[in-house]
Amino acid sequence: VYLDAVEGGRVEQLMVEDGAQVVKGQLLAVLSNADLQLSTLARHTQVEQQLNNMRSQELALAQTRSTNLRDLNQAETDLAKARRQHDLQKPVAERGFISSKVFNDTKDDLQYQTQRLAILRRSVANDERLQASQLKQLRASTDSLNSGLAIARGSLSQLNLRAPVTGQLSGFGIQLGQW
C-alpha cells in the first residue's frame, strides 16, 4: 500500500521506523504546515465572527417578537377598555344623559382600537412569517459554516500520517525536518 501525505508539511516527529510492524490507524509521523495552520485559524476566526453575528440577529428577532407580543397585548387591553366604556355609555346616551359628542368620541375610540388591533395582528403575523423564514436561513447558514469549519479542522488532522492498513512498514525513509 502506498502511503502519501494528503497535506504537505515539515516532518516534526517520527513515531515509527522503517521496517516496524504497524496496525491500521497507528500514528506514523506528525507534520507541520504553518500556512495551513494559519489559514485554518483565520477560517475558524471568520466562522466564529459570523456565528456571533447570527446569534445577535437571532437575539434581535427574539426581542422584536417579544415587543410585538407586548404591543399586541396592550392593543387587546385598550380595545377591551374602549368596548367596556362604549357598552357603559350606550344605554345612558340613548336616554340623553350623556352628550352625543362624548358618546361619539367613545364610539370613535372603540372603532380606532378595533382597527388598531386588526392592523397590529396583521403586522405581527407578517413579522412572524418573515422571522421564521429568516431564522430558518440563519440556522442553515450556521450549519454550513460549521461544516466548513469541520473541513478546515480535518485538513489539520491530515498532518498526522497514519497507517492505512495493518502490516510491515517499508520504504518509509522520511527524516525529521524534511519537507
How does pLDDT run across 61-113, given as a tens digit for each residue? 889 999 999 999 999 999 999 999 999 999 999 998 999 999 999 999 999 99
Ramachandran area for residue 133 (φ above 0: left; ψ -120 to 50: alpha; else beta): alpha
Q: What are phi and psi of 163, to 5 degrees?
A: -70, 125
Looking at residue 137, its amino acid is Q
**Three-class secondary structure of residue 15 per DSSP:** coil
User: Can you read off the three cell numbers belonging to residue 171?
Assistant: 520504504
Per residue in 143-178, pLDDT tens?
888 887 788 778 788 888 888 899 888 887 787 877
Q: What are phi and psi of 146, to 5 degrees?
A: -65, -35
Instruction: Find all residues with CB under 8 Å of 111, minimum gap 6, and list them.
Output: none
The model scores a pTM over 0.75:
no
Q: How far is CA 103 from CA 80, 81, 91, in A?
A: 16, 14, 10
